Amino acid sequence: MSVAKFTYPFRYVPTEDIRRAASELIARIDSDEHLRSLFSAGKMMGVLQTDSGFLYAFSGLAGGRSSVEGFVPAVYDYSDPQGYFRRSEAAISAMPEGPEKSRKSAELQEWLFRQYKVLNARGECLDVAEIFARRGIVPPAGTGDCAAPKLLQYAYLHGLRPVAMGEFWYGRPPGGQVREQGRFYPACRGKCGPLLSFMLEGLDVDPNPLDREFHVREPEIIYIDSDIIVVNKPAGMLSVPGKIPVVSLLERLREEYGRVYSCHRLDMDTSGLIVYARNMESRADIEEQFARREVKKVYRARLCASSVPFGRARKGTIALPLSLDYYDRPRQMVDFTNGKFAVTRYEVLSELPNGEIDIRFYPHTGRTHQLRVHSAHPLGLGRPIKGDTLYGSPESGDRLYLHAESIEFLHPADGDTMSFSDPVSDWDETTCGCSPSD
């Protein structure tokens, strides 16, 4: 009998056992006034299935404490007010601002990372500072306090074999982040990327889905002349070269047509119309049109169903500024202090019998993940786009249901209006454009 591989924590669909355990944990918290008060402000929770049952963890502290009955302990407990860390922290806080205070603070943080000694499945042990140093980077504050490393550390220390894992949100969403109670989310890359990569060594882990070979339909050339190329990009294809070892649309076009330049981008998971330039003059002209917000783009999307009624107007405008979630790239968050201006006009097309919503977007700006965040955030539409593994549920669809269906701009050579359209008639296999190989 074959044994299932362990969860790849950065892109996964939770197993039924993990879902059931998460639901039971939520019910336990909801029914316990003490636990509800500890976690209602919002917390990422983790569930680990082992060969001896389920383990539970929360990220960070709860009510200022690292230990709560029924949850695994912290990798290292720095919360004791009489402990070295808290006493040193208080002493540094009392110091006047200046180089000495900064030096002492950095030394204390370095000391703290040395206390987080974690195991992997081979029984090897390293501290957080060393794990990150091997990659030439410094760990962010809070590294080691997420639910996933707590769960794995406890399992290894007690001789338990990890079977599957999942992390989900409980309580109110934090700040401008897109979080919804009960939804599963991938582990963060900034804090947990290097750390979990080490801790999972020795386990038979599911491969990264992005490393799989995808059967992607051929991109369709909509228009071409000596200055521009307009292409219908399939979902699952990169617009430009990226971090994963697959051929991008830009590279394919260069193989066929020689010099081709990127003017704007679509996410790998987004399908639809995209424009490339065939010389630097055309590229500069089209990029300037984007900068002046003169390019008109329209997107079609499908929003996830929800147990909560939609409650938004059939037409409207979303204005939520966005900034990068530094410790969880490439996620974006709503940031009213430092975020960049982002505006999206929308129009609801239909509400389906299953509760999903077909919608059309008219973005006024072009921020990274703008439509995805404006859809999912509770101050936006409150419904993630179907198939969005970053801002919604990883199991919500076989692709991101977002399609750039039309684009209008001025031809860089003669100034004529160029308008192209590829409307979605149905979210069928042809529109999806990709599927993983066996």
Catalytic residue among 51, 77, 206, 267: 267
Closest to 305 in 3D by CA, of 396, 217, 242: 396
Give, in order, the Cα–Cα distances in Å from 51 to each of 1, 48, 158, 161, 233: 15, 10, 12, 5, 44
- Asked whether the predicted pLDDT for residue 434 surpasses 60, the reply is no
**How far, CA to CA in Å, does 16 sit from each of 164, 249, 397?**
10, 37, 16
List the structure tokens of 41: 């402000």
Q: Is the pLDDT of residue 430 over 80?
A: no
Dig out the tokens for 73 from the structure: 């302990």
From residue 364, how far is each of 109, 177, 317, 344 by CA, in Å?
43, 22, 10, 6
pLDDT of residue 173: 77
List the domain boundaries for the chain: 16-76+116-206, 211-436
Active site residue 328: no
Give the tens place of pLDDT for each residue, 70-103. 999 999 999 988 999 999 999 999 999 999 999 9
* Averaged pLDDT of the chain: 91
Q: What is the pLDDT of residues 293-324, one digit of tens each?
A: 999 999 999 999 988 889 899 999 999 999 99
Identity of the residue numbered 188 = C
The confidence score (pLDDT) of residue 397 equals: 57
So what's the pLDDT on residue 412? 97
Q: What pLDDT sits at residue 429?
A: 47
Give the CA distances from residue 420 to residues 84, 283, 298, in Å, rounded to whole numbers and listed in that order: 65, 18, 10
pLDDT classification of 176: cutoffs 50, 70, 90: confident
Work out the percent of the chain whose per-residue pLDDT is above 90: 75
pLDDT tens-place string over residues 106-146? 999 999 999 999 999 999 999 999 999 999 989 988 999 99
Residue 190, pLDDT score: 83
**Helix extents (H) in 200-266:** 249-257
By C-alpha distance, which of 143, 156, 155 is closest to 187?
Answer: 143
* Domain boundaries 211-436, CATH class: alpha beta
